[in-house]
Every structure is written in C-alpha cells, then in structure tokens.
Amino acid sequence: MSSTSAGTEPAMVTGFDAAAFERFVESRDDPGWVVDARRTAFEKFQEQQSVPLDPEEWKRIELRTFQPQKYGVRPSSDAAVQFDTLLQDRAQFAGHVSHTDGACQQASLDAALAEQGVLFGDLNTLVRDHQELLKPHLQRASAQAADRFAAWHAAFWTGGTVLYVPRNVVISEPLHSLIGLSEPNAADLSHTLVILEDGAAATLLEETASAQRDVAGLHVGSVELLVGREANLRYVQLQNWNEKVYHFARQSGHVEKDAFLQWTVGGLGGKLAHVHQTVDLDGRGAAAEVNGVTFAVDRQVISYYTQQSHNAPNTRSDLLYKEVLRDRSRVIWRGMIRVEPEAQQTDGYQRSDALLLTSSCRNDAIPGLEIEADDVKCTHGATAGRVDEEQIFYCMCRGLTEYEAMHMIVEGFFQRVYDRIPVEVVRETLSQAVERKLGIGD
Amino acid sequence: MADFEQVATIDEIAPGGRKSIVVDDVPALLLRVGDDFFAIEDVCTHDGQPLTDGPLEGTEITCPRHGARFDVCTGRALCMPATEPVATFDVEVRDNAIYAKPKT
C-alpha cells in the first residue's frame, strides 16, 4: 500500500511498493546506470519479501510491530533544520557534509584538500561527476544485496556522504558528516562511502540526529569503508536518533595489505537499531580495531551482528564492545571471527561486556569462532552483570549520592573503550552523551 | 498511561482460538478460554521468541520450542526452562468488542 500525506509540500509518498518506487525514480535525476542498478535491486527487494530473514541474525529482533509502509522518502527537503548535534561545533573540521531526510543540505571541504584531489561531498552529486569511481561500488551493492534490507537500501538509497582520498594524501584534521531526520515518518536511506587509496590517511566522524524528540523515522543505511594498502582510516559513527526511530544498517570495511582501520560505533538512540557490521581483512598484515559504546534505556532494542573476516595471513582484528542497559531495554550482540584456510598467523580478538543497571533489562551476547587455518591465535568472550551494590555503598560512604556513584561506575565501565578511541572530541562527546542519558549533567 | 484499545471482536475468535494483536506497541496474543478472554505478551520469557503457535490446554500455554508453560490468567511461569512470568494485559469485553491495555 502507498498513500500520500496531506499538508506539507512537496507531499511525501509513503510505502516502498512498485508504485512508490516508480515515483521515487521519476522524482530524481539519476544517471541511467544508477536507475538500472536501482531496478535490479528493487526486483531483488520484491523477491526477498517472501524469503525469511536469516534466523541467526534476526530471530532476536522484534519486527512484528515494524510497519515499513508508514514511512516514505521525501522528494526534497527544506533547508535550515537545526539539529542538537553531539559533534558538529566541538572541533575544527576540514570539511562538513549534512543530510536531512535523505537530502543533502550542505557540503564543504577545505580548499587545500580539494586541490590535492580529495573528494568529500554528497553521493547524488558525485555519482554524476565521478561515475568512474563510484559506479563499481554501487553496482556491486545492487548485485550482491544479501537480504531484504540490503536490497531495500540498494533500490531506494537517497544519498549519503562520500569521502575519497587519493594516494599518499594524509588529512590530519577530522571530517564531519551529519545524517538528520526531521519530518514525521521520513525515511533516510543514506549510503556512506569512504575510499582511501594506498598510503592515504583520514578521520571521518559521522553522527545521526533527530530534529525533534517525538517524531518517528526510519533509517535503512549502508556504510562501506575501503582502505587501500598501507592506508589508515579512523571512522566513527555515533547513532543518536530519538527513541522513535528504526535504524537498520549494513556496514562493511575492507582493509588491504598493511592498512589499518579503526572503527568506533556509538549506539545511543533509536527505538530499534540493528547494525550488521563486517570487517574484511583482505591483505597480508591488515589490521582493524573495532570499538563499540552502547547505552540503552526505556524500551530501546539495540542489536549488533558483527563479523571479523580474516582472509589473508598475518592479519589482526580486535573488537571491544561495552554496553550499559537500563529499564526494559535490550541489547543483543552476536559476534563472529571467521578465519579462512590461507589466513595463517591470524590474531583475532573479540569481547563484549554488558552492565545491567536494572533487573528488567536483558542482554544477549553470542560470541563465535569459525577457524579453518591451523596456526592462529583467536580469543573471544563476553560478560554480563549487575552493578555491585558494595561499590555503590562504598562511594556513598565517601559522600557521593547514589546517582553520582552510579555515574562514576558507568563511566569507569566505559573507560576501557574510551581509552582506545584516539580522537579526543569523540571521547568527550560520548562521555557527555552518557551523562545526559543517565539524567545528570547538562 | 495507555488507554484501552480495541483489539478484536468476539465473533473473530472461537472458544479455544487466538489472535495476534499489538497493545501499546507490544506484540501480544489474545486467547479465548470458554467465554473468557486473556491477553499475554507474545514472547516466551525463556528464549525471547514468539509463543504464537504454542498449544493451549485450559489456561496453560506451552512454548512450542522448549516446552515452557505459562498460566495465561496470571502470566506465571509453570515449569522450566522459564522462570520469569510473561506480561499480561487487562482485557475488557464491551458488547461485541474486546479491548486491552497494559496492566497498571
């Protein structure tokens, strides 16, 4: 079913059926090959409707109350929507890109970097001007869409942030990207694409935000990080929607020979958030560090499905997720380290720790290993536990209130993962966001 | 606090029958035992999966996967592997319509 909402102009068409798809394609000015790729993906999306989702990934996620037909892509969006962002004004950035309800509002890049061939902007614009660079990625995403959410995204992607750094160009200042949702029931299907050529280095800080606290929204997003030989990428995504937004994301990183990817995910917002995150270590000596900070409250459900794939020898991966839960929230983490037969001398590590602040929250942690090589080191583990009453009592004996004591314990719990985040502004931001969720601080 | 919302009509559900409903954004199961109606959250507290097709005997529903049993009147867990009660809803029948809301 699709319907047209009355009131605001231009009208938003809700739903994602064939009629909505045709209107969506007509409303855009995409090159022919993009439309073809969308059509391929839309066919898959329709086929996938009747195919059950992989139970290993989805069975713990409640989709019975999720009604995709309530959401829609806006044909265009009003500028000048203000967001209460976590990061935007906190540091000096070499460039900004912002999107609202799927449409690009602003894109800027330091002129000196642009001269060196760096591209940082909106996918809709760059797909026309730099199609030789982007075509293979977008076509592959359509052809390989693995499930209905991936196909949905590949058919309806609305835009997204693109960063391209040429060979041996090192960007010292971070870049900033904001994905915002503003109108009721608006859908954002943004595609973040980062390509670092051999020897390049960059830091991209991306955040998601809702303009209003009580407005429902939908994000079906994708992130692709391609890290060339000896390149170094630091990517941060802070998911900070309001508690009415559904967030589905498919995120992947590919790390080539001797390259390093440091990836930090923050899961703070959303009504239901599911992130499918894979890191492929494709070249000898590739390394990846994945950090996760999650704080769920009320009835939030935040789920991660992570895979570290060691596809070449001498590769190293290190994943650390820290989750704090309160009220009736639920956090699910299912992690896998996969080692291919040729990936000898692999060093793989994964760990998830959950701190449960109330008895009514629930944490499911399922670490896993699939090892086909015979000379590797792989370690995994998970913990879940309540706050120790004696620690609270100890703090209160020294003059802290119970709230302050709880804050100190939560902060201490996250500290180990904060210590691994090399960008100070991200550490500070996360720490303050956690304070806010605890109900103290500003 | 959430108000009663209409979730079904009496003639939709035969005695011993059931209907999947959503109450206050929570998937629930409306069950008819004789002329009485009960609503429970449609999630087994043991494994977090739906109870939807679980066999109902009297007022006891059995989880179709691991055999946990719950009393649909009170939500009480009656046997292992479930230890926590399943949430129940207040149900009211007015004329031909059935209403439900979360317990206060």
Residues in A 363-402 with any Cβ partner in B closer than 8 A: 364
pLDDT tens digits, residue range A128-137?
899 888 888 7
Using 50, 70 and 90 to split pLDDT, how confident is the model at A360? Answer: confident
Do B27 and A62 lie within an 8 Å CB cutoff?
yes
The sign of the torsion formed by the CA atoms of B29, B9, B100, A186 equals positive
What is the per-residue pLDDT for A423? 85
Chain B residues with CB-CB distance to A65 below 8 A: 22, 25-27
A3: pLDDT strictly greater than 50? no
> Which of B41, B49, B52, B86 to probe by mutation at the A interface, max A CB count within 10 Å?
B49
Do A65 and B20 lie within an 8 Å CB cutoff?
no
Using 50, 70 and 90 to split pLDDT, how confident is the model at A79? Answer: low
Cα A9 to the chain's mean position, in Å?
Answer: 31
Do A65 and B49 lie within an 8 Å CB cutoff?
no
| Top-confidence residue, A13 or A299 | A299
Nearest by CB: B25 against A59, A65, A362: A65
- Contact (CB, 8 A) for A100 and A76: no
> Which of A61, A64, A70 to probe by mutation at the B interface, max B CB count within 10 Å?
A64
A96: pLDDT strictly greater than 70? yes
Mean pLDDT of B41-59: 89
What is the per-residue pLDDT for A442? 40
Q: How many CA atoms lie within 13 A of A129 on its CB side?
A: 9
pLDDT tens digits, residue range A388-421?
889 999 999 999 998 888 888 998 999 989 998 8
As a whole number, the mean pLDDT across chain B is: 89
What is the per-residue pLDDT for A10? 54
Q: Which residue of chain A is at minimal alpha-carbon distance from B48? A: A60
A427: pLDDT strictly greater than 60? yes
The sign of the torsion formed by the CA atoms of B5, B10, B11, B13 equals positive
> How close A319 gets to chain B, by Cα (Å)?
26
What is the per-residue pLDDT for A14? 83
* Residue A424: exposure state from Cβ atoms within 10 A (0-12, 13-18, ≥19): exposed
pLDDT tens digits, residue range A97-147?
999 998 888 899 999 999 999 999 999 999 989 988 888 877 776 667 788
| Chain B touched by A347 (CB under 8 Å) | no
Q: If residue A21 lies in a helix (H) or strand (E), which one and from where to where?
A: helix A18-26
Do B27 and A65 lie within an 8 Å CB cutoff?
yes
Nearest by CB: B48 against A60, A64, A65: A60
> How close A63 gets to chain B, by Cα (Å)?
9
What is the per-residue pLDDT for A7? 43
What is the per-residue pLDDT for A8? 45
Chain A residues with CB-CB distance to B50 below 8 A: 64
What is the per-residue pLDDT for A85? 76
Do B48 and A362 lie within an 8 Å CB cutoff?
yes
- Name which CATH class applies to B5-102: mainly beta
**ipTM of predicted complex:** 0.80
> How close A272 gets to chain B, by Cα (Å)?
12
pLDDT tens digits, residue range A215-272?
999 999 999 999 999 999 999 999 999 999 999 999 999 999 999 999 999 999 999 9
Using 50, 70 and 90 to split pLDDT, how confident is the model at A5? Answer: very low
Cα A103 to the chain's mean position, in Å?
Answer: 18
Mean pLDDT of A281-309: 95
- Contact (CB, 8 A) for A164 and A119: yes
Place of tokens 């990817």: A261
Chain B residues with CB-CB distance to A64 below 8 A: 20, 22, 27, 42, 50
- Among the listed residues A306, A335, A307, A197, the one whose alpha carbon sits nearest the alpha carbon of residue A256: A197
What is the per-residue pLDDT for A77? 57
Chain B residues with CB-CB distance to A60 below 8 A: 48
CA pair distance A349, A319, nearest whole angstrom: 6
Using 50, 70 and 90 to split pLDDT, how confident is the model at A296? Answer: very high
Whether this prediction's pTM lies above 0.80 is answered by yes
Chain B residues with CB-CB distance to A59 below 8 A: 49
Using 50, 70 and 90 to split pLDDT, how confident is the model at A1? Answer: very low
Length of chain B: 104
A349: pLDDT strictly greater than 90? yes
Q: Which residue of chain A is at minimal alpha-carbon distance from B85? A: A360
- % of chain A with per-residue pLDDT over 70: 95
Using 50, 70 and 90 to split pLDDT, how confident is the model at B1? Answer: low
What is the per-residue pLDDT for A143? 67
> How close A359 gets to chain B, by Cα (Å)?
11
What is the per-residue pLDDT for B90? 92
Chain A residues with CB-CB distance to B25 below 8 A: 65
Q: Which residues lie below 8 Å from residue A270, measured CB to CB, with a gap of 6+?
A: A239, A241, A243, A245, A246, A247, A300, A302
What is the per-residue pLDDT for B96? 87
Return the number of CB contacts < 8 Å for A and B.
Answer: 15
As a whole number, the mean pLDDT across chain A is: 89
- Contact (CB, 8 A) for A254 and A282: yes
| In chain B, where the domains are located | 5-102
Do A64 and B22 lie within an 8 Å CB cutoff?
yes
Q: What is the largest CA-CA distance in chain A?
A: 69
What is the per-residue pLDDT for A4? 45
A6: pLDDT strictly greater than 60? no
